[in-house]
Structure 1
Amino acid sequence: MDAAKQHAPATQRNRDAIAEVLEREVPDSGLVLEIASGTGEHALFFAERFDGIEWQPSDPSTQALASIRAYRDDFPGSNLRRPVALDASAPDAWPVATADAMLCINMVHISPWEASEGLFAGAANLLADGGGPLILYGPYLEDDVETAPSNRDFDRTLRARDPRWGLRKLGEVDALAAHHGFARTARYEMPANNLTVVYRAK
């Protein structure tokens, strides 16, 4: 295996469930911008599964970008673009000008709140006119839903690593979305106490 390739075991467990949501929510063609692509394994899988879509991976980490490039080198198709360096917390400096959909997996809780603020600000720049979806995957806290013990433990672990991290209240994410002109249009329950939530311009 290429030394640059990183591996995230959760990718194998959640990629099919996420793909089922993408089949419902993303257009059949166009460009999907993936924010915080991490290892690149999701990008590889989704680009192969949705061969009519141009898939644009991104990440702020040089190690992640190297991993994505290494996986891309083995990709037989032509719709997986080279990864770009993108810091979600700096939406005015994104190297992508437009997209037909955006996907962000497991970033909101493993980053400062400023990254989520930048994510929605960037989505407003890229998606608002076309009405494309911003799709988020990960664990969330909901006022009317009991939090699973595993998610409570995960939240404590994250906050111990960095007090700026942690599971977000879905209501606060909805409020942030509304501030940038988006409304939540779908909520999907996913394996292992995760959610996929979809936002579109109002």
Structure 2
Amino acid sequence: MSQAKPFSQACENNQSFILEILAPLFTAGQRVLEVGSGTGQHAVHFAANLPKLHWQCSDRRENLEGIQAWIDDAKLDNLAPPLALDTRDLAWPQPAFDGIYSANTLHIMSWHEVELFFSHLRKSLKDDGLLCIYGPFNYQGKYTSASNASFDQWLKQRNPQSGIRDFEAINALAEKIDLHLLADHAMPANNRLIIWRSQGSR
């Protein structure tokens, strides 16, 4: 019997909306790396609904047991055991993936860790691969809602190095490694799902 599984109500609320956008982007046999799988709920939901896609979870080592509990209960052939991965790690999983997905991570990281995240993408994402980032963003230095402003204040009280990131700064990091903006979707609860496509040589 698996351990009691961690649970996020936010994941439960947003996963169907995210899946609706992700589903047509990937084709059978492709491999997607999820960076910061958290509870593991997104991974199980996406892998169950995209059975021809190979989904690879990853997170810091202390979160792997909870993710594995979700995987054990799901019993899905296209959902691999989670990998220990930190943005500060020198090496990321290889070979390169067709897609990299991350939800609600950039505002938890320090800016240095965000920069490291994008630097790793250069070797971890295939040419023509997709980067899909879900979470809150500011635009032109402004909050998109009062709730995001409050959330940002809470984040910075907990850790002054974290905080909601400006879309323009994130897009600049993406463009620096030849990722080109494909779509920017408004999502429930004042979040966004932003998608870039790799067009550079690795």
| Smaller-chain TM-score bracket | over 0.9
Deviations 1:2-43 (A, max 9, x none): 545211110110000100110132233311100000010111
Contact 1:38 1:59 in 2 (8 A): yes
| Cα RMSD, aligned residues only | 1.7
Q: Does 1:109 align with 2:107?
A: yes
Q: Give the match for residue 138 of structure 2.
A: 141
Runs of 4+ off more than 4 Å: none
Q: Given residue 113 of structure 2, which amino acid in structure 1 is its aligned partner?
A: A
What does 1:44-193 align with in structure 2 at a 5 Å threshold?
44-62=44-62, 64-90=63-89, 92-129=90-127, 131-143=128-140, 147-193=144-190
Q: Give the match for residue 26 of structure 1.
A: 26
Deviations 1:55-77 (A, max 9, x none): 10000141x10011111111232
TM-score by length of 2: 0.92
Relative to its length, the structure with more strand (as a share) is: 2
TM-score by length of 1: 0.92
- Alpha carbons of 1:143 and 1:83: their partners in 2 closer, same or farther (altered >3 Å)? same
CA distance in structure 2 between the aligned counterparts of 1:9 and 1:69, rounded to whole angstroms = 18
Unmatched segments (≥5 aa) in structure 2? none
CA distance in structure 1 between the aligned counterparts of 2:29 and 2:21, rounded to whole angstroms = 16
Q: Give the match for residue 8 of structure 2.
A: 8
Q: How far is 1:144 from its partner? A: 8.5
- Shifted more, 67-76 versus 103-112: the winner is 67-76
Number of residue pairs matched? 199
Percent identity reads 36
Q: How far is 1:89 from its partner? A: 3.1
Deviations 1:99-135 (A, max 9, x none): 1111000000011122222222222112243x11000
Q: Give the match's secondary structure for 1:95.
A: coil
Q: Given residue 108 of structure 1, which amino acid in structure 2 is its aligned partner?
A: L
Unmatched segments (≥5 aa) in structure 1? none
CA distance in structure 1 between the aligned counterparts of 2:33 and 2:195, rounded to whole angstroms = 14
Contact 1:103 1:135 in 2 (8 A): yes
Q: Given residue 197 of structure 1, which amino acid in structure 2 is its aligned partner?
A: I
Q: Given residue 45 of structure 1, which amino acid in structure 2 is its aligned partner?
A: H
Q: Given residue 12 of structure 2, which amino acid in structure 1 is its aligned partner?
A: Q
CA distance in structure 2 between the aligned counterparts of 1:145 and 1:188, rounded to whole angstroms = 18
CA distance in structure 2 between the aligned counterparts of 1:166 and 1:144, rounded to whole angstroms = 12
- Shifted more, 29-38 versus 120-129: the winner is 120-129
CA distance in structure 1 between the aligned counterparts of 2:112 and 2:65, rounded to whole angstroms = 25
